[in-house]
Structures are given as structure tokens and as C-alpha cells.
Amino acid sequence: MLFVAIIVSALWGKKNSAGFDFALFPMLVGGGYIIWSTLVAVLETRKITAGVMVVLALVGTAYVGEYLAGAIVAFMMIAGELLEDITLDRTRHALREIVKLVPSLAQVKKEDGFKAIPVEHVQIGDIVLVKSGERIPIDGEIVKGQAAINESSLTGESLPVDKSVGDKAFVGTLNENGVLEIKTEKIGQNTTLGRIITIIREAQEKKGAIQKTADKFARYFTPVILGICVLVWGFTHDLFRVMSVLVIACPCALVLATPTAVVASVGNAARRGGVIKGGVTLEGAGKVTAVCLDKTGTVTEGNIKVVEVVSFSSLTKEDILQKAAVGEKFSQHPIGRAIREYAMASGLTDIPDAEDFRMLYGRGVQATYQDSLIEVSNSKALEHQKKQSDPAIHTFIKDQEQKGRTALLVIVNQEIVGGISVADTIRQDAKVMVAQLGQIGIKKIFLLTGDNEETARTIAGEAGITHFRANLLPEDKLHVIQELQAQGEVVAMVGDGVNDAPALMLSDVGIAMGVIGTDVAIEASDIALLSENLLMVPEILSLSRRTLRLIKQNIAVFAVGVNLIGVALASSGMLTPIVGAVIHNLASFMVVSNSARLLTYRYEHR
């Protein structure tokens, strides 16, 4: 309507036969809206906002009787604000799409069968029915049925995962085939998806150093421009020049430069299973110069298998395996699980409980069973042996390490009675990931492991990693990170988020892999990748680098550059208020549009 009124007033002429300037009407309507919105903004922020300059320009056009110019300025400002809102809304679309994944109703088991109730009324312990084609409304454990679950909404992986009784199911994932009954364990904001939504919302508000600098600059911008206006008036006494300066000079583009890019980047990552915790993290990730990779479960599959069992005593291999299984009964380490699985597959279906169990960090485990002290440790156990060990033990360790395996010693009452070797396989995409990290400019890549040097060298060689550190205790990984930071490197640590939590927190950017359903990992890391797709690591770091470049481009070109040139031209009388309004809004629109390109950004490796 405002646009139509402006056209009519322009065609009608400055004044009709009644002596009334029709342009006054659209100027009052558009100007009134701008004055009202500016007044609200000033009262809410208790600061002089950029809108004050536009209000002063409108007052000036009214004072000199240029109502058409005032109406056009008001229209351009309102139209520009609308375009900014529409474009900015696109950057927030990803978060809304994630929120939509949560079903509004859940089929909950009652005494008379399953009944549909609002999902917010579901309680912990409720049994929820999920049929084929439905999304899961809660986090929980499957107690009945089996199905193919599409977890792409969380992990970004398109292939469905087969799940059955005992497996975990997560809210927002899709049951593609089958019927499940799930016992509710987490609801609402406590679910994996709920935590992700909360983190993304917080991330979009967190400000990095660049944003804080821009905000500080913007606070002083308006008073400086008002001072320039006084000088222009003092030298020229040309009110039109003053109004042109007021219209074109606005920190809107500067204020939008960083947050729009951050929102778009966070949304991009979220759609593909990456949770980035705000502008500070994006800035840090964009400056990474060195990457440290944990071996087990990150570079390797973490699917460890027992490949050999030997005896160094009168005990049989079956006895050795039985004692190792007892020692590892309560271990959550992948090696412990591998030994238990191998023992059960070998016929030891009932592994007895140990009377006492404790972790020997960086070495192994220790447990007490039937008055025997059982230990399953790596080669570091030899350092604690008081008597000379059998040469066959050293030969066993050397042979296994040369094959890239991990050698474990089974010790009963301080005597080494047997050995077990386990092996892991490198992830298929590990070598590609390392190559892509190099392509985006990261030259220092380290493999960190508690394994022996030969195994570390073998795995590093297969992955194309030139630097590795072996025989590391958990605290040793911290020392490696500190050493790199002391050399001026910006360090990213990539691990599983649980065992590597201290290293993730010490590094400049902690990236946790495969953390779906793991709250500890999500909290400990700066960037949480829900899937185990290693190629997401260079993808996220490349996205962060691109974000930094676009932020600097937004500030240098569309914010500071346009303002400086515009103010100079307006002060010299080369710009009218109308042209100033067009340029002003064009700069802000270009900032938002430039940032919106990050929504569809994908790293294209060479």
C-alpha cells in the first residue's frame, strides 16, 4: 500500500488543485512506523540505535517540504528490513526443521491397550509403541520387536540401522520397517535431540571475538556519524547533504555481519549431524593449524578382535582366556569387550564376577577372584615385575607389535601366565580424511595412542599420518597438546568424547566423534559429531574457515567499505537521501545474502 501511495503521489505531481501534497500521506505512514519501531528499540536497549539517524533524516525532509523524498526513504527502509528478515529467516530454517522431527503424539501402553497422548505427557518408564513409518517420540531402550531405524536426522547417515531388544532408540529418528515397543528413558529437553536443539539455540547467540569487536564499534558509530553531520552542516549549511549522511551511514550491516554467518554455519552443520557450540567455536575451528587424532575408535574402527592366545605357564589357553575374561568382566574399554566376546564365543558362556575390580590407567585392569589377583595389562606391566620374565614373553610382545597388534599380558598373583593379542582395523575413510585436512591447509596431524610404537607406526602409515606419539598415558596426551600450543599452534583434538574428555577440553577445539546418546561427550566437546563419519572433520573445519572468510568479507566490503564511501559521497553532495537509502539497505541485504550462502556450503575436495 505504501508503495502504491508513493507511485500515485509521484504521478500526481507535487501538489494538486487543492494545494495538498499527496506525498505527505505515505511519508506519515512509513515515517510513523519507523519512528515507533525506533522508539521501542531505544527504550528496550537504552541506547541510541541506528534508527535514530533515519528518524532525524525523515524529520529533515519534512522540514524542507520534500515529502516524496521522505516517503521513498521510509519505504526503502521498511522494504530493506523486510528483505533482511526474510533472508535471515532462511538461516534459522535448519533449527525449525530439527524441532519438527519431534512427534506431537505418542502411543503409550495403558491397562486397556495403547493410547495416543501428547508427547509432553509421556513419563519416564512408559512403554511407547512405534509402528513402521513413524518417528520415535522419546529416547529409550527397545523392549520388544525389531526394526530398521533411519537415524539420518541425527547422524547425517542415510543408511538405516537394524535394531532389536536391548538397543537404544532416539527421538526424531524414523522407523522404516518393523514395530517396536520402547521403554522411555529420556523425555523433552533431556533427550539427545533436545540437548542438540538447546545447544544450537545457545550457539546462535554466543558471540566470538570478531562479533564482540563489531558490537563495540557499532556502539560508537552513531555518535561519530552525528558528529560528522554537525561538521557537514557547519561547512555547507546544506540540509540535504546532512540527511544523506544520516540515511546512508548505519551500522546495520556491521551488526549483521557475524551473527548471520554464525547462524547459517551452525544450521548447515546441524542438518548433517554436527553440533557447533557458537561463534567462539567457529572462530577457533577456522584458525586450526594442528589436529591430534586419538587412535582407537577414531582413526580405527574400535571394533577390536582377539587374534591369538598363548600360555607362558602350565595353564592351558582356555584357562588363560577364562582368567582374562574374569579380569575384564566389568571393563567398558573396547579391549575388555573384545576379550569377553571372544571368551563367550569360545564356550565360556558364564563369566563369573570378580570380587574387586579397578582400572590401571594407561596400563590395563586388575581384579580379585577366588583369592587370586588377576591383572590384564599391556607391556608396561613388565616394568612392575620384580623377577626376570621369560624371554618368550618378550618375543611374543615384539612379534605382535611388528604385526601392528596390541600385546596384552595375563598376570596371576604377580606371575605372567599368558598373553593375548588383539587387533583393530583402520577406518576406510581415514586416509581420505588426512588428505583432505592437508588440502584445507592443516599440515601438522598427530596420531595419539597408548599403544606401542610399532602399532602406532603401522596405523599412522596406513592412514598417511606423518607424526605419531605412542605409549601415552591419558595425561601424556595433555602434554602433547600443550607442547603444540606452546609452539603457537591452534590445536583441534578429535576423540570419542568420553575417554578423551580431558584432552578435548584442553585443546583449542575439541571434536567428539560418534556421540549419539552420549551426554558426557556432547558436553565435553566444542564440536560434537553424532555419526562416526571421519570426513565430517575436514568438512566442519572447512566450513569454519569459509565462515571466517565470509565474516571478514561482510565487514570489510559491505559494512565498513560501503559506509566509508557512502558518507564521503553524501558529504560532498553526490548522493541524495533516496539513493542513500537504497545503498544503505543494499549493503545490509548483501551481508545477509552473503551469509546465507553458508547454508548450502559443502567442502569439495580435490
pLDDT at 254 over 80: no
- From-to residues of CATH 3.40.1110.10 in the chain: 305-423
The whole-angstrom separation of Cα 320 and Cα 327 is: 11
User: What value, to the nearest 5°, has the Cα angle with vertex 556 and ends 558 and 44?
Assistant: 65
Q: Which of 74, 41, 40 is nearest to 57 (CA)?
A: 74
Average pLDDT over residues 354-379: 87
- Residue whose C-alpha cell reads 572433520 in the numeric block: 537
Q: Which of 542, 597, 536, 585 is nearest to 260 (CA)?
A: 597
pLDDT at 155 over 80: no
Tally Cβ neighbours within 10 Å of residue 458.
19
Cell, residue 134: 513413524
Average pLDDT over residues 63-85: 70
Least confident of 186-190, 382-386, 521-525, 592-596: 521-525
b/e 373-400 (16+ beta carbons within 10 angstroms → b) = ebbbbbbbbeeeeeeeeeeebeebbeeb
pLDDT at 219 over 90: no
- From-to residues of CATH 2.70.150.10 in the chain: 103-136+139-186
Average pLDDT over residues 348-373: 86
**The model's pTM:** 0.71
Q: Quick one: pLDDT band at residue 447, thresholds 50, 70, 90?
A: very high
CATH number of 103-136+139-186: 2.70.150.10
pLDDT at 7 over 60: no
Q: Quick one: pLDDT band at residue 542, thresholds 50, 70, 90?
A: very high
CB 418 within 8 A of CB 410: yes
pLDDT at 346 over 80: yes
Q: Quick one: pLDDT band at residue 518, thresholds 50, 70, 90?
A: low
Q: What is the pLDDT of residue 324?
A: 93
Tally Cβ neighbours within 10 Å of residue 520.
12
pLDDT at 335 over 80: yes
- Residue whose C-alpha cell reads 599420518 in the numeric block: 465
Alpha carbon distances (Å) from 64 to 27, 120, 412, 432: 13, 60, 99, 67
Q: What is the pLDDT of residue 596?
A: 85
Q: Quick one: pLDDT band at residue 472, thresholds 50, 70, 90?
A: confident
Q: What is the pLDDT of residue 540?
A: 93
Q: What is the pLDDT of residue 489?
A: 94
Q: What is the pLDDT of residue 189?
A: 80
CATH 3.40.1110.10 fits 305-423, yes or no: yes
Least confident of 80-84, 428-432, 500-504: 80-84
Residue with the larger pLDDT of the pair 441 and 257: 441
Question: What are the catalytic residues?
Answer: 294
Q: What is the pLDDT of residue 157?
A: 61
Q: Quick one: pLDDT band at residue 177, thresholds 50, 70, 90?
A: confident
pLDDT tens readout for residues 196-213 = 777 666 655 555 566 566
| Average pLDDT over the chain, rounded to an integer | 82
Q: Write the single-letter amino acid at 205.
A: E
Residue with the larger pLDDT of the pair 188 and 18: 188
Q: What is the pLDDT of residue 71?
A: 76
